[in-house]
Structure 1
Amino acid sequence: MKLETYKKFVFASLFIIGFTLSCTDLEIEGTDSIISEGSGDGGFTGVANPESALNDLYNKVGGDFATQENMYALSEVTSDELLIPTRGTDWGDNGVWRQLHTHTWTPDHQFVKNAWNNLNQNIFRASEIIETTSSSTGVVAQAKFLRAFNMFFVMDLYGSVPFREVDEGPEVNPTVLSRSEAFSFIESDLNDAVSGLSSVAPGVANVGTASAEAAKFLLAKMYLNAHIYKGTGTAETADMQKVIDLVDEINASGFDIQEGYFQIFEPTDDSETILFLRSDIGARIWNSMHYNQNSPDNTGGGWNGFSTLAEFYDLFEGDPDSNYVGDGQEERRGFVPDAATANNLNLGIGYGFLIGLQYNEDGTPLENRQGQPLVLKKEIPSLVGNGETEGIRVIKYHPYDPTEDDNVNSFRQHQILFRYSDAHLMKAEAMMRMGDDATALVNELRAKRTDTDPLPSVTEETLLDERARELYIEFWRRNDLVRFGQFTAPWGLKEVSGDPNVNLFPIPATALLSNPNLVQNPGY
């Protein structure tokens, strides 16, 4: 949208402060403000090469979503999907992971601060591209999508959204967009992006950058959550109809549910992927694997951190205490290769949820570091004081890349963030919130996932569970739990908080010091 219509809103100076997690020295230094040279003196003349700047911004966004900290931690580790138990001294990290699980974070939490800084920096860089007069129509549309994308996550995670014009410097007293103002700003940017972006069909070559379909997906996500962002408390029929219409338009472009669940996450053509990020998926693989689980290109093994809760694993059909091939599990729960399967497939690490005895690629049982059988346990007894085998492990992106001739991990830059099955379930939810029966639509998806039985009916609880089964570790669990009113509910090793204030993260303490117009979120 035209920035002038927002009366030249200005955003808070952002910070790059290298203090430790335990540090309380919040003194602002000259390096804290992320402001381009020439800003604020009337001298902004645009970026030198808009196409190159756009490419750099795509890479920056991909990097922000690649790590196990920051965006991934705030989106997934705060939910019932993931838990990082402290194992001996491993994964203690001054309590940062435990604070996320128990919802006891503070305004100086490292990941809260880093995510805020990264997202807001990306918003400003996108604005610079948009306001460069030499930027082509296509480049502007891409930049508007990226600005909306980053602003969406600031709005979703923090509520208030800082914004600054490209020709305003640190001497300007910053102002901020409220959550509802941010919603309108993002909506306008995305509508502009839809008009300026090409419509594409599914395919790896088409969905590594924004398309009209990607912008429509994010618009649908916006409208599905509109009652949260606008504070009305109840989904409006008009917003839900927009979700349905947008998903139908995406489907009309050729995107659809694909059979073969784990094949979707390979860097090959599929009908599901609407947008993938240029994100090294190494952290999605190795942060969960045990130290002694490896692949030909990673003989050092995993990092033995991220696990799931027993109750999340129990949402899936199949044997409650085993996930070996043939245990009656549904496709999306994956499998652990037994000795014969590992040997036949030359596959050690399984797919989905890994529990029980683990094998290497020739069918030999693996051992832990004490020389005992490597048996991954279902239950995690405590947040601290665990051994190295507590917890079911989770993997969607696999180190054995079938696109590689030598079958070694390429650490491909291909992390899916927008997927058609998510859109399909958004449509089902919109129908349900309008009072319509969404059972057939949900069962249409389940019919594509082998060994799942049709649901007799769809309620809020069953739909939330279906989204969990389909979309685990894809960045959307916190968003879903907040929308369904379940983010404050109890789960394993987390008591019920009952405090709706945790539905938003705090504004980082450093941002409040630099921007007098920022107001801390309630409860912090």
Structure 2
Amino acid sequence: MKIYIKITPILFSALMMTLAVSCTDLEIEETDSLISEDSGSTGFTGLSDPESSLGDLYNKVGGDFQGQENMYALSEVATDELLVPTRGTDWGDNGIWRQLHTHTWTSSHLYIKNSWNNLNQNIFRATEIIESNPSADVIAEAKFLRAFNMFFVVDLFGSVPFRGVDEGPDVNPMVMTRTEAFDFIESDILDAFPSLPSVAPGVDNTGKATQEAANFLLAKLYLNASVYKGTGTFDAADMQRVIDAVDAIEAKGFAIQEGYFQIFEPTDDTETIWHLNSEVGGRIWNTLHYNQNSPDNEGGGWNGFTTLSDFYNSFEGAPNTNYVGDGQEERRGFVPDATTANNQNLGIGYGFLIGQQYNEDGTPLTNRQGAPLNFTKEIPALVGNTEVEGVRVIKYHPFDPTDDENQNNSFRRHQIMFRYADAHLMRAEAMMRMGNDITGAVNELRQKRTDTPDLTSVDEQELLSERGRELFIEYWRRNDLVRFGQFTSPWGLKEVSGDQNANLYPIPETALLSNPNLVQNPGY
């Protein structure tokens, strides 16, 4: 069994206060200017073991994308899906979470700086592997990983610095415009494609770069081309490329999977296209109350992340409960109820958790003050909350049915990044952008989700809502909101963000100091 260190809310707050203070420190760090001990005036002679370095890079990317902060916070907490309300003194953290929700961040925000550094460091490490002249398949995987990380730099920040392996710290990295980076990403993926394996669905096939993962990333790139190229219009040729890429994935056997929450278990399914070797414990415990636990985590949750009432209301079902039989669609999940005769899964529920919570034996749980642990739908304010405000949301579950002893070792090393249902909806969106009626395509997905009725019609707003219902907390909400022109719109406890400048995060101050070729994004 793994040993997990329990971080209490007080310790977490203290730690985050320390980190938040450090975000104003403008001292240049190695990661800010992409310095490598193997680069410089002596010339790059290649990595001694590129294949091993590739494995290290996979692990680095998995670690970078597993946390609740950094890229995840920028992609999800800054949207209408997630909120981290301050509860007393818990989750205050010098306002670092509230700034994301209200779009009041600055260029010194810690998670913005960390995301920039992590992504650009991964790009440089991939370049070192590529320039070490390894085998064709190692080059292909490294190019895929470089494209994946550069995609997020383009998406979150716009322009991309790029340092050659022979350039030492005395050379300021060149900077690609967003359009130039788009072309670079496309070229990397297309160059890598012939040397990547083509695989069928299966958990053993989806942990490394494949042609199917490459097609998925290409579809994401082309679907967002109007944003990245600044044209503001969806080009029919790009939309056809999205359709072709998804068709190729489908032809390999990937398909919409029945049993929604089973997709997020470490077992074979037809949906997972690419997963990272990432711990998912944080995705579970950051939302659950201190008194909710499992056999391998008796310390309970961290009582932080919640969803917003309007997002919860976008699902079918009773408005204020989520018990089995309350008419909710499958993706909204359920809160176990000991009085429901056919419910055998007492304890922590799946999906969105609202109302009274229960222990494994059906005993109603209480909060730390002894009152019923009854999660409310509404969150009155960003600060001053009690322990129970807000609907909680999880996809990965602490009880792994494949692990009889509930040790969850393999389960906590499997975070899905690319999923076929997303590809299916991307193809539908591309068809919509070309003037086609996509109601049937969207209903094809909904018919695989239990108790999810067909829609009578699907317009742009309904498609955005459907993407939210299917893909919540899977890294794509901000990307979707920007593409649909709604990232700066108001939502619960957030006013209009002003002009469209908020669609890009600022370049961190330390990066600007270390590389004068960088130009700050407008509005900062």
So what's the TM-score if we normalise by structure 1?
Answer: 0.95
Give aligned-pair identity as a percent: 75
Amino acid at match of 2:28: I
Is residue 61–residue 122 contact of structure 1 (8 Å, CA) maintained in 2? yes
Write the deviation string for residues 268-290 of structure 1: whole angstroms up to 9, x where unpaired.
00000000011100011000000
Is residue 422–residue 471 contact of structure 1 (8 Å, CA) maintained in 2? yes
User: Is 2:488 aligned against 1:492?
Assistant: no
1:108-127 mapped onto 2 (5 Å cutoff): 108-127=108-127
Is residue 141–residue 196 contact of structure 1 (8 Å, CA) maintained in 2? yes
1:120-199 mapped onto 2 (5 Å cutoff): 120-133=120-133, 135-199=134-198
- The alpha carbon displacement at 1:347 in A equals 3.3
In structure 2, the partner of 1:257 is: 256
Is residue 367–residue 374 contact of structure 1 (8 Å, CA) maintained in 2? yes
In structure 2, the partner of 1:391 is: 390
In structure 2, the partner of 1:6 is: none
Write the distance in 2 (CA, Å) between the matches of 1:328 and 1:399: 25
Write the deviation string for residues 191-218 of structure 1: whole angstroms up to 9, x where unpaired.
1121110100000100011100000000
Write the distance in 1 (CA, Å) between the matches of 2:395 and 2:169: 44
DSSP 3-state at the match of 2:278: strand
Is residue 225–residue 234 contact of structure 2 (8 Å, CA) maintained in 1? yes
User: Is 2:45 aligned against 1:45?
Assistant: yes
Is residue 318–residue 330 contact of structure 1 (8 Å, CA) maintained in 2? yes
Is residue 32–residue 511 contact of structure 2 (8 Å, CA) maintained in 1? no
1:270-285 mapped onto 2 (5 Å cutoff): 270-285=269-284
- The alpha carbon displacement at 1:458 in A equals 1.1
In structure 1, the partner of 2:356 is: 357
In structure 1, the partner of 2:431 is: 431
Write the deviation string for residues 80-103 of structure 1: whole angstroms up to 9, x where unpaired.
000000000000000000000000
So what's the TM-score if we normalise by structure 2?
Answer: 0.95
Amino acid at match of 2:215: K
Write the distance in 1 (CA, Å) between the matches of 2:497 and 2:31: 38
Q: Residues 245 and 86 from structure 1, CA distance in 2 versus in 1: closer, same or farther, beyond 3 angstroms?
A: same
Write the distance in 2 (CA, Å) between the matches of 1:465 and 1:30: 41
Write the distance in 2 (CA, Å) between the matches of 1:363 and 1:87: 27
In structure 2, the partner of 1:332 is: 331
Write the distance in 2 (CA, Å) between the matches of 1:123 and 1:212: 20
- The alpha carbon displacement at 1:170 in A equals 1.0
User: Is 2:476 aligned against 1:476?
Assistant: yes
Write the distance in 1 (CA, Å) between the matches of 2:33 and 2:184: 23
DSSP 3-state at the match of 1:418: strand
Is residue 127–residue 165 contact of structure 2 (8 Å, CA) maintained in 1? yes
1:186-225 mapped onto 2 (5 Å cutoff): 186-225=185-224
Write the distance in 1 (CA, Å) between the matches of 2:32 and 2:150: 20
Write the deviation string for residues 273-326 of structure 1: whole angstroms up to 9, x where unpaired.
000011100011000000000000000000000000000000000001111111
Is residue 343–residue 362 contact of structure 1 (8 Å, CA) maintained in 2? no
Amino acid at match of 2:461: E
Q: Residues 62 and 341 from structure 1, CA distance in 2 versus in 1: closer, same or farther, beyond 3 angstroms?
A: farther
- The alpha carbon displacement at 1:469 in A equals 0.3
- The alpha carbon displacement at 1:19 in A equals 6.7
Is residue 506–residue 520 contact of structure 2 (8 Å, CA) maintained in 1? yes
- The alpha carbon displacement at 1:498 in A equals 3.3
Q: Residues 136 and 383 from structure 1, CA distance in 2 versus in 1: closer, same or farther, beyond 3 angstroms?
A: same
**Gapped regions of structure 1 (runs ≥ 5):** 1-17
DSSP 3-state at the match of 1:448: coil
Q: Residues 466 and 175 from structure 1, CA distance in 2 versus in 1: closer, same or farther, beyond 3 angstroms?
A: same
1:82-97 mapped onto 2 (5 Å cutoff): 82-97=82-97
Q: Residues 197 and 331 from structure 1, CA distance in 2 versus in 1: closer, same or farther, beyond 3 angstroms?
A: same
> How many residue pairs are counted as aligned between the two chains?
506
DSSP 3-state at the match of 1:222: helix
Write the distance in 2 (CA, Å) between the matches of 1:68 and 1:369: 24
Write the distance in 2 (CA, Å) between the matches of 1:287 and 1:495: 25
- The alpha carbon displacement at 1:340 in A equals 4.0
Write the deviation string for residues 225-260 of structure 1: whole angstroms up to 9, x where unpaired.
000000000000000000001100000001000100
- The alpha carbon displacement at 1:346 in A equals 4.8
DSSP 3-state at the match of 2:151: helix
Amino acid at match of 2:503: N
Write the distance in 1 (CA, Å) between the matches of 2:499 and 2:31: 36
When the two chains are superposed, the root-mean-square deviation of aligned CA atoms in Å is: 1.4
- The alpha carbon displacement at 1:174 in A equals 2.4
Write the deviation string for residues 45-94 of structure 1: whole angstroms up to 9, x where unpaired.
11111111000000000000111000110000000000000000000000
In structure 2, the partner of 1:368 is: 367
Is residue 342–residue 362 contact of structure 1 (8 Å, CA) maintained in 2? no
- The alpha carbon displacement at 1:499 in A equals 1.5
- The alpha carbon displacement at 1:153 in A equals 0.2
Write the distance in 2 (CA, Å) between the matches of 1:205 and 1:360: 34
Q: Residues 344 and 432 from structure 1, CA distance in 2 versus in 1: closer, same or farther, beyond 3 angstroms?
A: closer
Amino acid at match of 1:295: S
Write the distance in 1 (CA, Å) between the matches of 2:48 and 2:505: 36
Is residue 240–residue 430 contact of structure 1 (8 Å, CA) maintained in 2? yes
In structure 1, the partner of 2:5 is: none
